[in-house]
């Protein structure tokens, strides 16, 4: 059994909101800090993962980044890589302060863009007990090339316009998060729209867009390089048919790391998430593998 409460913490003067899951029994339990991917929010199925982990005896802190979801921050839908990494640091600090958890047993869990974030956050913190990176974004050039030349050119043009407008205080110029092939979207593979948008609950007022300026930052972002410097045991879950975070470069980064192990799945980027009923073959396999890793490295009681 478990219980979930709404909590909040400060990140550089802005309030981030989160769910805190606790097992109903257990003392000084490990806590898993969980963050989503590109423009996504915790209500997009992270609760299903957290419920599985909590049922196994782990506490979970599942947070929204600034500018997204239930967290504060203006303008809305501003995806700043540096701010999101600061949010991870703030979430880790808050997790260590939660009564009833073991502050020496903090685990980082990130998926997609968040899967890259946990590599950097784990390296920067240096004290986390373990890291789980699921279908992670690891290489900006690889993901930009996967976008295709037409979508890439459209995103770049809007990103330049957004950055120029921000200098004069104008409202952000946006790009879609998921769109059809050839569109001005950060994810435009054929499986992006049918894979990403169904993760959004019907009752959630979700904006499928972000400030376009991040399109200039993504090609220069290489979180996979941090993996070899992460001292904590790390599990990297790779989707072999990933059209968003190409697996080849991720595999290369894992091979260069001394503390990372990899499990590969013959599925696409979005197949690894639970379906609307909270299950799915790929999800069941990956969550079982992650729990096996956690039980071996950071046992819960």
> How far, in Å, CA of 260 to CA of 112, rounded?
17
Q: Give start and end residues of each alpha helix (H) in the chain.
A: 46-55, 81-97, 113-125, 140-147, 149-167, 192-196, 214-217, 247-255, 281-297
Model pLDDT, residue 24: 87
pLDDT by 10s per residue, the chain, length 301: 679 999 999 999 999 999 999 998 878 999 999 999 999 999 999 999 999 999 999 999 999 999 999 999 999 999 999 999 999 999 999 999 999 999 999 999 999 999 999 999 999 999 999 999 999 999 999 999 999 999 999 999 999 999 999 999 999 999 999 999 999 999 999 999 999 999 999 999 999 999 999 999 999 999 999 999 999 999 999 999 999 999 999 999 999 999 999 999 999 999 999 998 889 999 999 999 999 999 999 999 7
Residue 204 burial (C-beta neighbours within 10 Å; 0-12, 13-18, 19+)? exposed
pTM of the model: 0.97
**Secondary structure, 3-state, 190-236:** CCHHHHHHHHCCCCCCCCCEEECCHHHHHHHCCHHHHHHHCCCCEEE
Q: Token pair of 223, please? A: 């979180």
Which is nearest to 225 in space by CA: 122, 111, 74?
Answer: 122
Half-sphere exposure of 263 (CA within 13 A, CB side): 17
For the beta sheet containing 174-178, the strands, ordered from the edge strand earlier in sequence to the opposite edge, are: 185-187, 174-178, 209-211
Model pLDDT, residue 141: 96
| Torsion, CA 246, CA 252, CA 256, CA 259, rounded to 10 | 50
Q: What is the DSSP letter of 86?
A: H
Model pLDDT, residue 2: 74
Model pLDDT, residue 41: 98
- What top-level class would CATH report for the domain 2-140+221-297? alpha beta
Beta strands 174-178 and 101-111: pairing type?
unpaired
């Amino acid at each position: 059994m478990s219980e979930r409460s709404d909590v909040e913490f400060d990140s550089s003067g802005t309030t981030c909101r989160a769910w805190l899951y606790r097992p109903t029994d257990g003392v000084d339990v490990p806590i898993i800090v969980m963050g989503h991917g590109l423009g996504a929010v915790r209500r997009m199925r992270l609760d299903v993962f957290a419920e599985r982990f909590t049922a196994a005896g782990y506490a979970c802190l599942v947070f929204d980044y600034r500018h997204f979801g239930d967290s504060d921050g203006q303008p809305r839908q501003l995806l700043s890589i540096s701010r999101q990494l600061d949010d991870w640091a703030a979430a880790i600090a808050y997790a260590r302060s939660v009564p009833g958890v073991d502050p020496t047993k903090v685990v980082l869990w990130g998926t997609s863009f968040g899967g890259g974030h946990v590599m950097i956050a784990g390296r920067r913190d240096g004290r986390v007990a373990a890291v789980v990176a699921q279908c992670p974004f690891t290489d900006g050039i690889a993901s930009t090339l996967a976008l295709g030349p037409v979508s890439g050119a459209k995103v770049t043009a809007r990103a330049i316009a957004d950055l120029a407008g921000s200098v004069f205080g104008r409202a952000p110029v946006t790009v879609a998060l998921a769109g059809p092939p050839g569109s001005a979207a950060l994810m435009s593979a054929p499986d992006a729209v049918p894979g990403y948008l169904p993760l959004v609950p019907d009752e959630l007022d979700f904006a499928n867009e972000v400030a376009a300026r991040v399109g200039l930052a993504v090609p220069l972002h290489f979180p996979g390089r941090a993996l070899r410097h992460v001292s904590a045991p790390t599990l990297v879950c790779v989707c072999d048919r990933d059209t968003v975070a190409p697996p080849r470069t991720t595999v290369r980064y894992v091979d260069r790391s001394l503390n990372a192990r990899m499990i590969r799945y013959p599925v696409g980027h979005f197949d690894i998430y639970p379906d609307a009923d909270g299950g799915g073959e790929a999800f069941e396999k990956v969550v079982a593998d992650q729990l096996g890793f956690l039980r071996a490295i950071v046992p819960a009681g």
